[in-house]
Structure 1
């Protein structure tokens, strides 16, 4: 241990040896490093989100606030990371694209776990990972488990707020359905923040998180459109069209709708 240095601790030899461009083009290194660093940030986001979900389930909200705030800040980092990739021009990307094969960010198992942890459940999203049981396992685990928002609503119910029974116990693999009764429960919190201070703060932490995620998604769309236009994605999606459809996904709908009623 006493002989361990900075490079040893961070395993930098392995990390810095993990970039293997397949093309002769200068710009492929940018493409590789961009996506590898995104996966590292995803690794940290999942570490924080898993712990935050557990903390909410155990009514340890101060810890959950710290973790969700950290995830929001990571998403801000990733928003600005698109600025770096946007320096790649269409001809530069077109030169390396034939070397990418069918690889696509759509196949990122960590990103899919993130979506599931945040409540965007779609069974079809398991398919890109079916060929690799080791990658499929954590995706399936997130798919069948309560999301962060599910646990938040269960907490509201434990605190005596009127959350429908089918939002407290349900098939967690099904897409979340917004509820007028859930909105009324959150409105009770927001109309008396002093009485429900930690739940009020939870609502705002969740709103911050979705706000940051929306910005990340939007920056993704605009960067892809800037670089490839409306070409199909390498993984078989329709590229910008698919990414734009994701902008309409609302993760915590009642927290956004209640603002009209306040």
Structure 2
């Protein structure tokens, strides 16, 4: 038998008494966080379903934080800072993407056991997801409707529609730095979704044809493509997960379910950056 005494971190000066001091749990609000899961049934898998969506909302909260900073950096031509934030957003979407693998361990019969208890609630109603889409440029005003019952939420969404999107600011930065962008594109109603513009494609074409000369915009283009690439993968895995669990049933919130999600796969956030690859 070993006569070695159990390790005591306090012998090396580790703080062990937190009476009146801030602890890990205090700083992170762990008690509040863990009390936020309130299953409506006794079914085993409902806790997985709740945690999956709550953690997704936490990651989306961080995405919005990073996108706001990235947009401000682009406005100020501080591109290196924007690159850092956009790279982080892409990695967050990768994290969200991996989370679908956990939810896919729930079978149709396990989900059916508590699905009816969800009522009309649906991920379709996530205002943070809608805010992310608006910030990135997919600005469908019809999607305001599910949030009209909450004045604070609707105010946040309308405030986002009142300012140029991240991609609008990237296009404005191109124009500000000597690229020829059409007046119609620059002065259009920014509360609406940006549509394909040939002068924007031509600007990105110039960037890709001379990356060393236009390095900051070359890197900006690739950071934006990375972001949308991971966003698209997340959407695709969402469709696959939903089809695997509920097939082609309608969503709890009344959407077409898989058919609605598949339609969302067709959305292009940064159209010129994808189409320019064909003409290079």
Shift of 1:232: 0.3
Please list, as runs of the form range in 1=range in 2, the aligned pairs for 1:230-249 lying within 5 A after superposition. Answer: 230-249=248-267
Structure 1 stretch 141-150 or stretch 68-77: which is displaced more? 141-150
Structure of greater Rg: 2
In 2: Cα distance, 1:44 partner to 1:55 partner: 17
SS at match of 1:207: helix
- Contact 1:113–1:143 (CA<8 Å) still a contact in 2? no
TM-score, length basis structure 2: 0.92
Name stretches of at least 5 consecutive residues in structure 1 with no aligned partner. Answer: none
Q: What are the equivalent positions in structure 2 for 1:1-262 lying under 5 Å apart?
A: 3-262=21-280
Write the distance in 1 (CA, Å) between the matches of 2:182 and 2:148. Answer: 34
Q: Root-mean-square deviation (CA), in Å?
A: 1.0
Mapped to 1, the partners of 2:56 and 2:155 lie a distance apart of 21
Displacement of 1:166: 2.1
Find the residue that maps to 2:187 and give its secondary structure. coil
Structure 2: gaps (5+ residues): 1-17
TM-score (norm 1): 0.98
Cα deviation, residue 135, structure 1: 1.2
Runs of 4 or more, structure 1, over 4 Å off, are none
Q: Report the equivalent of 2:6.
A: none
Task: After superposition, give the CA deviation of every residue in 1:94-135 in whole Å (9 maximum; x if it has no partner).
Answer: 111111010000110000000001100111000010010011
Identify which range, 162-171 or 196-205, moves more after superposition.
Answer: 162-171
* Cα distance in 1, alignment partners of residues 278 and 116 from structure 2: 49
Instruction: Work out the CA distance in 1 between the residues paired with 2:133 and 2:108.
Output: 29
CA shift, 1:55, in A, is: 0.6
CA apart distance, 1:30 = 0.2
